Amino acid sequence: MTGNAVMDVLQVTVLVLVAAGATVVVRTRERVRLVLVLSAYGLLLAILFFTFQAPDVALSELTVGAVALPLILLLAIAKVRKRPE
């Protein structure tokens, strides 16, 4: 029974962190900082999926949400940046 209790505590902790992370992401306004916070949020989600016994989805979220998506976002931000003319 202790195994289940440990798993419960772990899941609740990471769920609270994910909820806090989502709040931080939507409250960040600057673009580059937003991308970095999104990458950290992707990492938190991957940890959450590990605690939900889903390593497949965790690996997918890690590669897509913490690496590929911030890359794409940074390139788009570089494109629309206001340049000193």
Partner 1 sequence: MTPRQRRWLFAIAAAGLVACYLWAFAGLPGFGHYPGPYGPEILKHAIAQTNATGVVSAINFDYRGFDTVGEEFILFTAAAGMSVVLRKLRGEREGRGEREGRAKSPYDRARNRDLPPTSDAVRMPTLALVGPVVLIGWWLAAHAQANPSGGFQGGVILATAFMLVYLSGEFLAFRRLSPVALLDCAEALGAGAFVAVGLAAVAQGLPYLDNFLPLGQVPGAVSSSGTIALISFFVGIEVAAAFTLIIGELLEQTLLVRAGGR
Partner 2 sequence: MAVFPFLVVAWIIAAGLWGLVTSRDLIHQIVCLIVVQSSTYVLLLGVGYVTGGVAPYFYDISPHAKAVDPVVQALALTDVVVEAAVTALLLSFAIQAHKRFGTLDPHDLAEFKG
CB of 46 within 8 A of CB of 66? yes
CA distance 72 to 78: 10
Residue closer to partner 1, measured from CB, 20 or 64: 64
Structure tokens at 23: 């709040």
Helix residue spans in 1-85 (DSSP H): 2-27, 31-51, 55-63, 69-80
Site residues (CB under 8 A) for partner 2, limited to 43-82: 45, 48-49, 52-57, 60-61, 64-65, 68-69, 72-73, 76-77, 79-80
Applying CB under 8 A, the residues found at the interface with partner 2 are 3-4, 8, 11-12, 15-16, 18-19, 22-23, 25-29, 31, 34-35, 38, 41, 45, 48-49, 52-57, 60-61, 64-65, 68-69, 72-73, 76-77, 79-80
